[in-house]
Structures are given as structure tokens and as C-alpha cells.
């Protein structure tokens, strides 16, 4: 399952997703992973959450990002939740061109029984149609 938090830059999305992740600690039946495009919110997350700064791994386009997530899932069968903040900055791709990525992620997450929350900085009024099914 994928849930998207969509809003304009500076609207508090990152704080919201950090709070969501922190709240899951102790409740989640598996491991929690927080993927970001930098380390801004690393210190705001509880220590039980696995923080990953994608910029350290040369993940800079859609296929690399998908492979990166698949590698995490292959290595750790206990992941139950993934939070992704700043996906557009990671993959350097316009939102309109990410439909395939979302379909692929949805399929692999479903197979592995993993929930994902993805934060996207964009105007909700101009969101592509494929994204509307994921918006919370």
C-alpha cells in the first residue's frame, strides 16, 4: 500500500511524516525505514527507525531508486513500513513521469506486505491523475 502526502514546499509535510514514523515505533510489527534525500530530519527520528540518506548511495534516477528499495526489501524481510521524503529530489524526474515507478513500487510493496508513505512537494491541484489514488 502506498500513501502520498502531497503539498507545496514549506507546508509541513516532512514534519508530518517524521511524526507518523515516530508514532509507529512500538506499534509496528516490523522494521521501519525512513529514506530521505539528505540528512535534515535524521535527528528528529527515534533511534529505532532505520534512517537512509539516498544521496550517499548515488541513487539519482527512477530505476536506481526502484532497485534500491528492492535491495532493502531483499536484505531485510522484517521491513513493514517505508517512509520516503523528497522522492522528486532523489530521482530527478518530473511527477508526470513517475507513474511507472509508482506501479512498480506498489507491486513489490504488496508482495512483501510493506506499507509506504511518500512525501511529494507539488501543487495538489496539478497532481497527475495516477497519483490521486494514493493521496491521503
User: How many residues are there in the chain?
Assistant: 136
Compute and round to an integer the Cα radius of gyration of the chain.
14
Cell representation of residue 122: 507539488
pLDDT of residue 12: 85
The domain ranges of the chain are: 2-132
Selected from 1.20.120.1200, 3.40.50.300, 3.40.50.150, 3.40.50.2300, the CATH number assigned to the domain covering 2-132 reads 3.40.50.300
Give pLDDT tens digits for 67-85.
Answer: 999 999 999 999 999 999 9
Whether the predicted pLDDT of 17 surpasses 90: yes
Separation between Cα atoms, residue 13 and residue 19, nearest integer Å:
10
pLDDT of residue 126: 87
Helix (H, G, I), strand (E, B) or coil at 10: coil
Amino acid at each position: 500500500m502506498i500513501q502520498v502526502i502531497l503539498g507545496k514546499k514549506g507546508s509541513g509535510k516532512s514534519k508530518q511524516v517524521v511524526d507518523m514514523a515516530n508514532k509507529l515505533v512500538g506499534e509496528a510489527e516490523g522494521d521501519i525505514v525512513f529514506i530521505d534525500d539528505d540528512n535534515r530530519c535524521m535527528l528528529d527520528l527515534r533511534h529505532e527507525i532505520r534512517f537512509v540518506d539516498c544521496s550517499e548511495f548515488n541513487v539519482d534516477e527512477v530505476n536506481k531508486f526502484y532497485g534500491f528499495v528492492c535491495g532493502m526489501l531483499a536484505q531485510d524481510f522484517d521491513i513493514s513500513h517505508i517512509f520516503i521524503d523528497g522522492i522528486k529530489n532523489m530521482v530527478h524526474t518530473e511527477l508526470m513521469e513517475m507513474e511507472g515507478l509508482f506501479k512498480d513500487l506498489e507491486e513489490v510493496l504488496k508482495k512483501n506486505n510493506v506499507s509506504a508513505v511518500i512525501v511529494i512537494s507539488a501543487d495538489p491541484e496539478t497532481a497527475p491523475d495516477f497519483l490521486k489514488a494514493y493521496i491521503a
